[in-house]
Amino acid sequence: MRTSSALGLVLAGAALSGLPAVAQLRAEKLVVMAGPQTPAASAANADAVVVGKVTEVEKDPVEATAYPGAPEDQKVSYKVAVLKVDEALLGAGGVTRFRVGFPADAPAAGEPPAGGPGRPAPVGGPGGLGRIRRPGPTAVALTAGMDGCFCLTRHHGADFYVLVGVPLLKKNDSYAKELEQVKKVTKAIDDPVAALKAKDLADRFRAAQVILQRYQTPRGQRPGRLPAREPIPDEETKLIVALLKELPWQPKTPVAGPGEQPPSRSALWYQVNPAELGFKQPTVPARKAGDPPVDFNKIMDDATEKFLTENGEKIKIKRYATK
């Protein structure tokens, strides 16, 4: 995989290249779609990303619910590993150790999970927004001596973290290359403005993918409710709008390989939640017998370019609040 395009895996699989990947507004339904869980994709959704080593697994298991809103009488038994931090890439804030929980019956890394990689948690949305499904804790067992990069998120109700995706272990042949991609993701999250000002258009595009995926994914929601929406910083909005204006609607270059996504406005458009910004989906003209096929990409190119030109200074991109 080429280094310049590997971050395309953060938001789209091979079959989805060129399609909106995080949020699509259709009428009154908002659907959040999870990307493939490469280490870079996991980092984009994590509260903390660290390089470290598991020093021990605590003897006593802990009982906790598997997902927000789960009945209290249906708790899952978790084992808890102690992870020593060697390098903090995101969200560690001086923490030197993490307690990381995993289901007591989880298989070891590399073995297929008995019931699939976690349990999706459906959450009803306010205002007719429909339902959102998010991945639950990944069912992978941690063992003393595991050494590598770990993407973590706070457990919704217990005093430990859980894995996002599977650990990227140092023993893997691809460790160095994949860790490089993880670091690009964490740098974009840590300093969005710098990432969105990158010299190369492809780098700005992929930074926007990561940033918007994180902003448009609900985090820490209560059962039955979505977090509030809030504007992102003005400078980030201006840079993203400028990028959207610069990008062609459709990629100018073909897909080079599985999971690779050339820069395009169409790949980012639904990640800014255009309906929330006042954009109205253009009407597809009726076809008569003998008429050529409707070029919907041309219609969307013209409509989005017109919208950005007329409203660029007024646009306020929003995100889900984290508090």
pLDDT-based confidence at 28, cuts 50/70/90? very low
Residue 100 has pLDDT above 60, yes or no: yes
pLDDT-based confidence at 25, cuts 50/70/90? very low
Coil, strand or helix: which one is 209? helix
Check residue 36 and give its pLDDT. Answer: 44
pLDDT in tens, 268-315: 999 999 999 999 999 888 888 888 888 999 999 999 999 999 999 999
Q: What whole-number distance in Å separates Cα of residue 302 and Cα of residue 190?
A: 34
Q: What is the DSSP string of 248-287?
A: -SS-SS---STT-----SHHHHGGG-HHHHT--PPPPPPP
* Cα–Cα nearest to 137, from 123, 159, 114, 154: 154
**Mean pLDDT across the chain, nearest whole number?**
80
- What mean pLDDT comes out for the span 198-213? 95
Check residue 138 and give its pLDDT. Answer: 56
- What mean pLDDT comes out for the span 69-90? 93
pLDDT in tens, 260-276: 689 999 999 999 999 99
Name the amino acid, one letter, at 67: Y
Domain extents in the chain: 47-188, 189-320
For the entire predicted model, the pTM comes to 0.75
Query: What are the Cα distances from residue 104, in Å, to 57, 68, 80, 305?
Result: 11, 19, 9, 52
Check residue 142 and give its pLDDT. Answer: 95
Check residue 54 and give its pLDDT. Answer: 97
Fold of 47-188: OB fold (Dihydrolipoamide Acetyltransferase, E2P) (2.40.50)
Check residue 147 and give its pLDDT. Answer: 97
- What mean pLDDT comes out for the span 29-57? 78
Check residue 243 and give its pLDDT. Answer: 98
pLDDT-based confidence at 223, cuts 50/70/90? low
Burial class for 267, CB neighbours closer than 10 Å (0-12, 13-18, 19+): buried
Higher local confidence (pLDDT), 103 or 16: 103
pLDDT-based confidence at 323, cuts 50/70/90? low
Of the listed ranges 178-187, 190-199, 206-215, 259-268, the least confidently predicted one is: 259-268
Looking at the DSSP bridge assignments, the partners of residue 230 are 319
